[in-house]
């Protein structure tokens, strides 16, 4: 296999699945990994049925050993790793104090720990592939802390900081590290989630919208480095407001949207 290679966590459904299909359709050998074996089987059938190339495997992103094993197996296919997409994530919503500590910890372990473990395990493969990239899934809910999504937003804020730091650290290795920022996306992750923010802002993005945003972001390597890519008009508007408006105004807007 001489074409480019992309490794995607959380690939069995939603954004991960849409990204796997899009990259496969554009000639990438896709590594699709998840804890959902049935979903992976269906994805592999769709990719191979369309003439694409894919390897699937079970991956618990909170397990550093599994990350190392799956990445090594995938790298053996092509001898390269052009793009790592840290997509796997979970969302739990509700008043902070009503969510059990174990659930808060699970959010941290999956949404942040999974990104740390995966990116760390992938480093040597990325370093040895010219022009390699890491794409981290952030969230517009991390632009300003959202009531009822406090820990989820906190994990995504941490991913933001990690992304910025590694993009600077790994520039010497020709590894680009970027983050994509959708708002609420119509996937199973938001099924049953009814917060004031989801009600006021709605769920306007599809998984395919985000996959296209990831694809476009990985095509753009200009002279001026860009790290963050907001997806959708709402996310872009919120990010612009957070950047240029005074803090009290941003807080007031978030207070309004969240019904706090």
Q: Which residues are catalytic?
A: 152
Query: Read out DSSP for 65-96?
Result: HHHHHHHHHHHHHHS---EEEE-------S-G
* Cα-based torsion angle of the residue sequence 236, 179, 99, 17 in order, rounded to the nearest 10 degrees: 100
C-alpha to C-alpha distance for 255 and 209, rounded to whole angstroms: 27
C-alpha to C-alpha distance for 143 and 164, rounded to whole angstroms: 14
């Amino acid at each position: 296999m001489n074409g480019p290679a992309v490794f995607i966590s959380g690939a069995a459904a939603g954004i991960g699945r849409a990204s796997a299909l899009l990259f496969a359709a554009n000639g990438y050998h896709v590594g699709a990994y998840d804890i959902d074996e049935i979903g992976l089987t269906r994805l592999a059938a769709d990719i191979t049925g369309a003439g694409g190339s894919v390897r699937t495997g079970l991956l618990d992103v909170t397990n550093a050993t599994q990350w190392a094993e799956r990445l090594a197996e995938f790298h053996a296919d092509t001898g390269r790793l052009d793009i790592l997409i840290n997509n796997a994530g979970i969302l739990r919503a509700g008043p902070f104090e009503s969510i059990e500590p174990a659930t808060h910890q699970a959010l941290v372990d999956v949404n942040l720990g999974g990104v740390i473990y995966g990116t760390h395990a992938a480093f040597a493969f990325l370093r040895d592939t010219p022009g390699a990239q890491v794409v981290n899934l952030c969230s517009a809910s991390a632009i300003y802390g959202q009531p009822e999504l406090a820990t989820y937003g906190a994990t995504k804020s941490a991913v933001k900081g990690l992304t910025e730091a590694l993009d600077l650290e790994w520039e010497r290795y020709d590894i680009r590290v970027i983050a994509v920022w959708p708002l609420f996306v119509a996937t199973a992750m938001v099924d049953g989630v009814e917060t004031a923010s989801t009600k006021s802002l709605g769920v306007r993005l599809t998984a395919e919208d985000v996959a296209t945003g990831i694809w476009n972001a990985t095509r753009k390597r200009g002279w001026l480095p860009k790290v963050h890519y907001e997806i959708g008009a709402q996310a872009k508007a919120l990010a612009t407001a957070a950047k240029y408006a005074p803090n009290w105004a941003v807080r007031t807007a978030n207070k309004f949207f969240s019904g706090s």
